[in-house]
A = this chain, B = another copy of it.
Amino acid sequence: MTIGIVGLGLMGGSLGLDLHKLPFIKRVVGSDHNPEHCQSALKLGLVDAIVDEDTLLRCDVIFLAIPVDAIVKAIRAMEGKLRPETTVIDLGSTKAKIAASIPPSIRKNVVTAHPMTGTEHFGPEAAVSGLYKDKVVVLCDMEDSGQLQQETAVRLFSGLFMRLHYMRANEHDRHAAFISHMPHAISYSLANTVMHQEDKYSILALAAGGFRSMSRLAKSSPVMWEDVFRQNKDHLLEAISLFEDELAAMKKAIKREKWDEVHERLAAGQKLHDILKD
């Protein structure tokens, strides 16, 4: 099996590193719009070669590890160029708009997937082995993909030791808004709150682990997250509003000194970790 990876940043690069280890994979090639990324990816051994579009389209499997808007364009540009047995797997963070944009003539070629993994770093230098291991991958609308494409995706993600979840693209997007996109909006807003303080330097001198973990997501790529926010706008706005309501209720209870209610809210939030088991 030959693999082509479009986008050699954190996600695509880490994928290349680990796909190399699967015995049934012969060759992993890639491309990136940024020539420096191509150089780094080669030097770091993320892919065996940097190839042009024609070579990429001849791969058995093509992964799209690029921002969501770019995925939509890339899949549209593939219309009429894919063999029936080619599998295209997109790794975008939102799924409904991507799924809706796939030309019907190549719908069976495409598997829309979201690996729930990553770090706040980006670019080929951020690629690490093991990024996908033991993590969840959400496979959306699988019945719309061809039988061969479904099997190929399952074989690859299982080979990376991922935990496979199946759901509709729209359901995924709502879940992802709560679990990932809204928390990113919070983290960036928290960062901006402190940055707008006159004495930000003396405030940040006191930063310990708690603040660092709350602001860590605000290190992520603004280009990527602007794109995610745009693609998942409605679910994101809903999730932000529900969070705002929770925070406003907490604030109101503090303001009115209803300490029993404050305590109940803290204790209720703590119960989350019974489910997360972390």
Contact across chains for A179 and B194 when beta carbons are under 8 A apart? yes
Chain B: minimal CB distance from A4 (Å): 26
Q: Does A276 contact B (CB under 8 A)?
A: yes
Find the B residue at minimum CB distance from A223.
B263
Contact across chains for A269 and B189 when beta carbons are under 8 A apart? yes
Contact across chains for B237 and A204 when beta carbons are under 8 A apart? no
The complex places the Cα of A223 from the Cα of B260 at a distance, in Å, of 10
The complex places the Cα of A50 from the Cα of B47 at a distance, in Å, of 61
Contact across chains for A192 and B244 when beta carbons are under 8 A apart? no
A222-252: CB near B (< 8 Å → 1, else 0) gives: 1101100110010011011111101110110
Decide yes or no: A246 and B208 within 8 Å by CB, A203-B178, A273-B219 being known contacts.
no
Question: Within 8 Å CB of A165, what residues of B?
Answer: 205-206
Find the B residue at minimum CB distance from A211.
B179
Decide yes or no: A217 and B218 within 8 Å by CB, A188-B265, A203-B175, A259-B230 being known contacts.
no
Question: Within 8 Å CB of A119, what residues of B?
Answer: 209
Other-chain residue from B118, B185, B190 in contact with A183 (beta carbon distance below 8 A): B190
Contact across chains for B250 and A204 when beta carbons are under 8 A apart? no
The residues in A between 157 and 197 inclusive whose CB is less than 8 angstroms from any CB of B are 165, 167, 171, 175-176, 178-180, 182-197
Contact across chains for A222 and B276 when beta carbons are under 8 A apart? no
Q: Does A55 contact B (CB under 8 A)?
A: no
Chain B: minimal CB distance from A41 (Å): 23
Chain B: minimal CB distance from A232 (Å): 10
Question: Within 8 Å CB of A182, what residues of B?
Answer: 190, 193
In the complex, besides A117-B209, A230-B262, 20 extra interface pairs with C-beta distance below 8 angstroms are A116-B208, A138-B206, A175-B206, A179-B204, A179-B206, A180-B208, A183-B214, A187-B214, A190-B243, A191-B272, A193-B239, A195-B269, A195-B272, A200-B275, A215-B272, A216-B278, A218-B269, A219-B270, A222-B263, A237-B251
Q: Does A213 contact B (CB under 8 A)?
A: yes
The complex places the Cα of A219 from the Cα of B118 at a distance, in Å, of 23
Interface size class of chain A, counting residues whose CB lies under 8 Å from the partner chain:
35 or more
The complex places the Cα of A244 from the Cα of B255 at a distance, in Å, of 15
Question: Within 8 Å CB of A199, what residues of B?
Answer: 175
Other-chain residue from B194, B222, B243, B267 in contact with A193 (beta carbon distance below 8 A): B243
The complex places the Cα of A216 from the Cα of B183 at a distance, in Å, of 12
Q: Does A26 contact B (CB under 8 A)?
A: no
Q: Which of A179, A230, A257 has the most CB of B within 10 A?
A: A179
Question: Within 8 Å CB of A180, what residues of B?
Answer: 206, 208, 210-211
A-B contact pairs, 9 of them (CB 8 A): A117-B209, A175-B199, A178-B193, A179-B206, A192-B265, A196-B242, A196-B246, A218-B269, A240-B247
